Amino acid sequence: MVFIVVFVAGVVHAQDPVSAQKGVTYGSGTNKEGDLVSSDLLPSRIQQDKYVGKITGKVVEVCQEKGCWMKLQKSDGAHLMVKFKDYKFFMPKDILGKEVVLEGQAVVKQVSVEQLKHYAKDGGKTEEEIEKIKESKREVQFIAAGVLVL
């Protein structure tokens, strides 16, 4: 009986993302070697609506429900949406404010009003802020296969 309790507790704990400390990786992991592109420079690197490689940036928002997406700060005040490949891993909420390296693929997508409202709700926005979303948006999104906390 004790084995079952320990096993179940271990499985439940294993689903929670590990705290975002320096050097922790998520997904397939990555490193800071090679060509690192700032999230600010990413749009200039996209060719034919796609970029494959590594980017770096500061996390300014994370999904408050499950950690299933996050946003990186750009110098112009805009944010870069980051999702996780095949929905296979999530980020802890304590990743806010951390510098990260992401490895994966950037794509240009048209995001529906419904999806934008969903992100706003998961990000903890007020109903008033959510109701102001009236138009879809074409944006760059990054699909991360691996994340490294710097």
DSSP one-letter code for 64: S
Strand partners of residue 25:
148
pLDDT of residue 62: 95
Integer Cα distance of 2 and 149 in angstroms = 36
Structure confidence at residue 7 as a pLDDT band (50, 70, 90):
very low
Q: Model confidence over 104-118: pLDDT tens digits?
A: 999 999 999 999 999
Per-domain residue ranges for the chain?
2-149
Tokens 């802020």 belong to 129
- Give residue 80's pLDDT: 94
Provide the mean pLDDT of the chain: 87
55-82 pLDDT, tens digit per residue, is 999 999 999 999 999 999 988 888 999 9
pLDDT band for position 15 (cuts 50, 70, 90): low
Instruction: Give me the pLDDT at residue 35, please.
Output: 85
* CA-based nearest residue to 66, from 122, 114, 14: 122
What CATH fold (topology level) applies to the domain 2-149? OB fold (Dihydrolipoamide Acetyltransferase, E2P) (2.40.50)
Kindly indicate the confidence band of residue 98, based on its pLDDT and cuts at 50, 70 and 90.
very high
Residue with the bigger pLDDT between 46 and 141: it is 141
C-alpha–C-alpha distance, residues 99 and 20, integer Å = 10
Confidence grade of residue 133 (pLDDT, cut at 50, 70, 90) = very high
23-56: per-residue pLDDT in tens? 999 999 999 998 888 888 887 888 877 899 999 9
State mean pLDDT over 9-16: 43
